[in-house]
Amino acid sequence: MPHAPLITFEGVEGAGKTTLAHHLADWLRAQGVPVRLTREPGGSALGAHLRPILLHEPLDAWAELFLFLADRRQHTLQVILPAREHGVWVLCDRYADSTLVYQGYGRGLDIPLIRRLNAIATDNLAPDLTVLIDLPVEDALARADAPNRFEAETLAFHNRIRAGYLELARAEPNRFLVLDGLQPLETLKASLEQAVQERFLDAGK
Ligand code: T5A
């Protein structure tokens, strides 16, 4: 039996990831699809402790990287892989691409090294679909409602994040679905439903 899909949501702060992930979970459940909605950082028992540290404590860039990776490893082994093995779809609000862009493009840490560390943290698990919500940083930050220390970074930092995501999406067009985050929410929801319907639900018939 093919494994249940892993769908990740990515974008700069305030892009609308959480809103769309919750919508897709509700939409799938309404069709009888079992769904585990989760997030990083914070999707495991360890992650619940790490999340406030990662979002609010001043950290050295390498210490920050290692904590995100520790969070990912526990989350992947304890939550994501077991759910998929039981046929449960996993929707994850941020995953390994966040580390590539925030700690790599944003903080300037070695990107090939982050790829290798991500491969260890994820047990080489790659998302079946990554929804990238793209919009100008200024528009997204104006929406973000839960301030954290990343939001206090410079506009240049956030623009590197946006550019990094777009570069990743260009390199893997089959994995990424890039949505224009300036569109009304209802339009975004409809585009996402259509993509998931065609890619997974119709394909499984
Ligand atoms: N991080 C994370 C790393 O540096 N490395 C890593 O490896 C990982 C995993 C996590 C932080 O950690 C960093 C990145 C982050 O800085 P977080 O709280 O999980 O922080 O993530 P944020 O991106 O900060 O989450 P936000 O909740 O701020 O943003 P969302 O989820 O993108 O946005 P959402 O859905 O909450 O929407 C924000 C508001 O906009 C409205 C919504 O109703 C909501 O009010 N909205 C729209 N309004 C108009 N039009 C639309 N299309 C809209 N879509 C949403």
Write the pLDDT tens digit of every residue in 150-183: 998 999 999 999 999 999 999 999 999 999 999 9
142 C-alpha to ligand 1 centroid (Å) = 11
Q: What spacing in Å lies between the alpha carbon of 1 and ligand 1's midpoint?
A: 34
Residues with CB under 6 A from ligand 1: 11, 13-19, 40-41, 55, 68, 94, 98-99, 102-103, 143-146, 148, 150, 181, 185, 188
Enter the pTM of the model.
0.98
Residues in the chain: 205
Q: Can you list the positions of beta strands (E) in 126-181?
A: 129-134, 176-180
The whole-chain average pLDDT of the chain stands at: 96
Q: What is the pLDDT of residue 116?
A: 98
The 3-state DSSP class for residue 114 equals helix
Kindly indicate the confidence band of residue 144, based on its pLDDT and cuts at 50, 70 and 90: confident
The residue type of 172 is E
- Buried (b) or exposed (e) across 138-160, using 16+ Cβ within 10 A? eebbeeeeeeeebeebeeebbbb
Please tell me the distance from the alpha carbon of residue 26 to that of residue 35, in angstroms, as a whole number.
Answer: 9
Rounded Cα distance between 79 and 94, Å, is 14
Summarize pLDDT for 84-137 with one digit per residue, the tens: 999 999 999 999 999 999 999 999 999 999 999 999 999 999 999 999 999 999
Asked if residue 2 has pLDDT above 80, the reply is: no
